Structure 1
């Protein structure tokens, strides 16, 4: 064999080997799906005790500051719809290494009246949960739920925080405030008393005075109303007092009867009205 003939045979064998590698099927002989590719069996443990902040419902955005959450623990799902608290059962299974199922059942809601837009969004969220059949987790950070047709229903971000600070389930101390209601039934009345707001008298950045109303939406969440503008803030670490923030440059800090509110670097100095 001449050197040129030998070199040609060697090159052909190498090309054949590369082609075989690039066209080899998955282990099960079928192409992998986008749904399963985002999750691995090791991530199922992370999903079992977790807290998620909803970013979209049926591929649409959510109302600013509406704070829709999903807290998952011990086959229970609970959280906030942005209007009411909810709780229900959840079933998570692994059909294969690349196919994970998730279904919800027996969802119960408190019955608080909210703005019509929030109540409409709540119904969309509950509908999306009940339609969910599959899920995928990307790098333990992004959770995506899908219906039986593998169309996205909910997308949520993994957030920090312990399960002890999450909304109570029906076995908790506030179980009597949760009543079973068909998913399709619209809200039309208030069945549970709501806590009154704390009202502060505040000095504005321009040395005028205004009122600040503060409502508790949960153990770690406040709704602030200032000049007919609403802000939702979450509890964060602070050396003293209680500090609440959001990603819209709003910071609320209170200690005793005194509070400071910062909105876009403008400071309001407030005293509780007794």
Structure 2
């Protein structure tokens, strides 16, 4: 029996849905990992700062508190783009002033829609004012 032209339409639809679905995932695929802060442009020691990217969700530690939020990527181009973080909540543990300073700096950086560059196992976040944080895959 010869297949009719109509039987190829559902197969084509499935192929298109899968292709567009994979294309949509690619914007965070380069970012999906657990990242640990290695250094900052401000000379602040980012001890304990982590960023976990899982699809459109982020979580981690700001060095003092655990945080959770939503993530989207704008201006994506292979391994670069701009992070847009929203609906972030965190625990409210009191920390020493120097630890809280790092935590506040990191959270401001995330909320300021930094650009990012993924280079192998390194992720660099850069704010428009020049603040920069380098993270490595954990």
Please indicate, yes or no, whether the TM-score normalized by the shorter chain is above 0.5: yes
User: For residue 155 of structure 1, what is the aligned residue in structure 2?
Assistant: 134
TM-score normalised per structure 1? 0.37
TM-score normalised per structure 2? 0.70
Q: 1:75 aligns with which of 56, 62, 69?
A: 56
CA contact (8 A) 1:58 1:128 kept: no
Q: 1:57 aligns with which of 37, 40, 60?
A: 40
* RMSD (Å), alpha carbons: 2.4
Taking the TM superposition and a 5 Å limit, the aligned residue runs for 1:81-100 are 81-96=62-77, 100=81
Following the alignment from structure 2 to structure 1, what is the Cα–Cα distance between the partners of residues 106 and 79? 26
- Going from structure 1 to structure 2, the CA distance change for 1:58 and 1:76 (only over 3 Å counts) comes to farther
Q: 2:30 aligns with which of 15, 39, 46?
A: 46
User: For residue 144 of structure 1, what is the aligned residue in structure 2?
Assistant: 124
SS at match of 1:117: helix
Taking the TM superposition and a 5 Å limit, the aligned residue runs for 1:259-274 are none
CA contact (8 A) 1:69 1:79 kept: yes
CA contact (8 A) 1:103 1:134 kept: no
Q: Indicate the structure whose relative CO is greater, using CA pairs within 8 Å and at least 6 residues apart.
A: 2
Q: Deviations over 1:122-179 (max 9, x none)?
A: 111101111133110112x110112235x343210011xxxxxxxxxxxxxxxxxxxx
The Cα of 1:99 is off from its aligned counterpart by 5.0
Larger Rg belongs to: 1
Please list every run of at least 4 consecutive aligned residues from structure 1 whose deviation after the TM superposition is greater than 3 angstroms: 93-99
Taking the TM superposition and a 5 Å limit, the aligned residue runs for 1:180-219 are none
Q: Deviations over 1:87-129 (max 9, x none)?
A: 1111124444575221111221111111111111111110111
Q: Normalized per residue, which structure has more helix? A: 2
